[in-house]
């Protein structure tokens, strides 16, 4: 694979996707320290919000240590070159949240839908573009549909005004060929000026390989998380990806040792548990299940005695999509009742 001289933008997820692994409890001070570390290491773009995006604060997903607005206002003014993005899931966040985040100074809005439901992003993408923001359409669980179907949805988002489209491997299920097929087709059929991105999860340890496949197929934005702190087994670990890019001659603008120090000294110490491929995270990637279901399934196991792996497999069989965490407790209750009756 010869990618020498390719210029890409890496986008750090540790302060947004990493919120899942922290049950949304990253403190304002931790957000500030880590974001400034990423800034000094040369990371061009970072994401800051509740794990489930703007407006994600809820009983359902968890109330965060601070509001989206408090985080954004605490982080953005202290950054020298790093820009900040916010994630927004239509059905959760609204254009009011988008306006608030723009007022806080974000450069980028990423509007995320399940991979078949792009049209619910119409009003948010349109507004983001009208406000002059870098506007990204983020198609989640992209492994669940064929490349041709993904293209249809990407074309919709592009037509609403998105200047960048992501194929998002929310379950960490894809193998490099799956990435190549999707990014390759999008590159062929979308406008040449539309950027393409890939967001990976490391549940099968494919984060680096998949990200390289994406770059080779035409993506120029790659999501990584410093220290790998993200949902499930985390995202593509930033420091590892940067080291690999360095060796291959892919230009990221990020300093390998500096980012490795941020991972070691700032991110890893705040983790509640080692973010790694345990048997449940492995199940996510193996069965194609949304990565942030992990901790919910573990808690349900503790409370109702149904193994997390069984719950995750059943969520996968029922083709649950991102955001359906409520169904984990519901399913555990139902399974516990059935087992009580049959024993």
Partner 1 sequence: MSKKLRAAIIGSGNIGTDLLMKAMRSEWIEPIWMVGIEPESEGLKRAADFGIKTTAEGVNGMLDQVISDDIRIAFDATSAYVHAENSAKLNALGVIMIDLTPAAIGPFCIPPVNLKNHAKKLEMNVNMVTCGGQATIPMVAAISQVQAVEYGEIIATVASQSVGPGTRMNIDEFTRTTSAGVEQVGGAKKGKAIIIINPAEPPMVMRDTVHCLTADKPDEEAITRSVHKMVAAVQEYVPGYKLVNGPIFDGKRVTVFMEVEGLGDFLPKYSGNLDIMTAAGLRTAEMFAEEAANGGIELPVRSTP
> Interface residues with partner 1 (CB under 8 A)?
58-60, 90-92, 94-96, 114, 116-117, 119-120, 122-123, 318-321, 323-324, 326-327, 329-330, 333-334
Quick one: angle between helices 147-160 and 122-130, nearest 10?
Answer: 50
Q: What is the DSSP string of 123-190?
A: HHHHHHHHTT-EEEEEEESGGGS-HHHHHHHHHHHHHHT-SEEEEE-TTS---HHHHHHHHHHHHHHS
Give yes or no: 20 in active site: yes
DSSP one-letter code for 232: T
E-only strand ranges, 26-148: 45-47, 83-88, 108-114, 134-140
Contacts of 242 by beta carbon, 8 Å cutoff, 6+ apart: 10, 224, 252, 254, 255, 256, 259
| Beta-ladder partners of 10 | 222
Least distance from partner 1 to the Cβ atom of residue 233, Å: 24
Beta carbon of residue 330, minimum distance to partner 1 (angstroms, whole number): 4
Toward partner 1, which CB reaches closer, 1 or 59? 59
User: Per-residue b/e over 125-160, b at no fewer than 16 CB within 10 Å?
Assistant: bbbbbeeebbbbbbbbbbbbbebeebbebbbbbbeb
Minimum distance of partner 1 from residue 284's CB (angstroms) = 18
**CB of residue 58 to partner 1, shortest distance in Å:** 6
Distance CA 234, CA 84 (A): 20
Residue pair 243/260 in contact by the 8 Å Cβ criterion: yes
Between 200 and 323, CB nearer to partner 1 = 323
Q: Which residue has the tokens 């450069």?
A: 107
Nearer to partner 1, 119 or 130 (CB): 119
Which residue, 268 or 324, is less far from partner 1 as judged by CB? Answer: 324
Cβ distance to partner 1 smaller for residue 56 or 237: 56
Q: Which of 11, 20, 124, 143 is catalytic?
A: 20
Cβ closest to partner 1, residue 123 vs residue 268: 123
CA–CA gap between residue 37 and residue 14 (Å, rounded): 12
Q: What's the rounded Cα separation, in Å, for the pair 197 and 176? A: 14
Nearest alpha carbon to residue 76 among 113, 103, 97, 114: 103
Q: Which residues are part of the catalytic machinery?
A: 20
């Amino acid at each position: 694979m010869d990618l020498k001289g390719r210029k890409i933008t890496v986008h750090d997820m540790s302060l947004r996707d990493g919120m899942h692994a922290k049950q949304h409890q990253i403190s304002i001070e931790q957000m500030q320290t880590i974001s400034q570390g990423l800034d000094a290491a040369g990371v061009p773009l970072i994401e800051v919000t509740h794990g489930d995006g703007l407006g994600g604060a809820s009983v359902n997903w968890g109330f965060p240590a601070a509001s989206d607005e408090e985080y954004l206002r605490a982080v953005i003014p202290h950054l020298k070159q790093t820009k900040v993005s916010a994630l927004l899931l239509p059905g959760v966040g609204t254009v009011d949240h988008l306006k608030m985040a723009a007022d806080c100074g974000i450069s980028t809005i990423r509007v995320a839908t399940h991979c078949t439901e792009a049209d619910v992003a119409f009003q948010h993408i349109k507004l983001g573009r009208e406000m002059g923001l870098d506007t990204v359409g983020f198609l989640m669980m992209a492994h669940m549909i064929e490349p041709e179907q993904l293209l249809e949805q990407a074309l919709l988002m592009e037509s609403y005004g998105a200047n960048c489209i992501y194929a998002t491997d929310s379950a960490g299920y894809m193998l490099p060929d799956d990435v190549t097929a999707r990014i390759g087709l999008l590159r062929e059929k979308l406008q040449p000026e539309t950027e393409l991105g890939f967001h990976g999860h490391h549940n099968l340890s494919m984060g680096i390989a998949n990200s390289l496949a994406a770059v080779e197929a035409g993506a120029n934005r790659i999501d990584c998380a410093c220290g790998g702190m993200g949902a499930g087994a985390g995202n593509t670990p930033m420091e590892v990806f940067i080291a690999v890019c360095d060796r291959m001659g892919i230009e990221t603008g990020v300093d390998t040792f500096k980012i490795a120090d941020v991972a070691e000294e700032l991110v890893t110490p705040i983790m509640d548990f080692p973010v790694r491929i345990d048997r449940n995270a492995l199940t996510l990637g193996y069965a194609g299940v949304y990565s942030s279901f992990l901790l919910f399934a573990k808690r349900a196991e503790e409370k109702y005695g149904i193994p997390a792996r069984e719950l995750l497999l059943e969520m996968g069989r029922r083709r649950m999509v991102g955001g359906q965490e409520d169904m984990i407790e519901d399913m555990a209750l139902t399974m516990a009742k059935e087992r009580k009756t049959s024993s």
